[in-house]
Amino acid sequence: MVKLADEINKHIQKFRTGYQLGPVHIVTSESAAGSLRVSLPRPKCVIGFPDSFSIGPLWKLDEKVGQSNRKEWLFEHINDESEEYEYENKYVNTLREIEDIPHDVPIYVWYGDNPDEQTGMRFFLYLLREKTNEIFLINSTVEGKQLFHTAQLDSDIVRQIFDGNKENKALTNHERIHLQKEWEQLSQTQEFLRIWVDGEIRGVQENYYDPLIIETIKSLHFQQETKDFIKTADVVVDIFTRMNSYLDLFFLEYRIRELVYSGVLELKGIPKSMRHYSVKLK
pLDDT tens-digit profile of 218-267? 999 999 999 999 999 999 999 988 887 889 999 999 999 999 999 999 99
> Domains in the chain and their CATH numbers?
2-200 (3.40.1360.10), 206-281 (1.10.10)
pLDDT per residue rounded down to tens, the chain (282 residues): 656 655 565 555 555 555 557 899 999 999 999 999 999 989 999 999 999 999 999 999 988 899 999 999 999 999 976 666 778 888 999 999 999 999 999 999 999 999 999 999 999 999 999 999 999 999 998 765 778 899 999 888 999 999 999 889 999 999 999 999 999 999 999 999 999 999 999 999 999 999 999 999 999 999 999 999 999 999 999 998 888 788 999 999 999 999 999 999 999 999 989 999 999 999
- The amino acid sitting at 203 is G
- Reference 256, options 220, 184, 206, 194; nearest CA is 206
Query: In degrees to the nearest 10, what's the CA dihedral of 127, 130, 135, 141?
Result: 20
- What pLDDT is attached to residue 236? 96
- The answer, yes or no, to whether the previous bond of 102 is cis (omega within 30 of 0) is no
- Bridging pattern class, strands 135-139 and 107-111: parallel
Q: How far apart are alpha carbons 59 and 104 in whole angstroms?
A: 30
- Element at 201 (helix H, strand E): strand 200-204
Distance of CA 21 to CAs 30, 43, 102, 103, 104, Å? 21, 6, 9, 12, 10
pTM of the model: 0.90
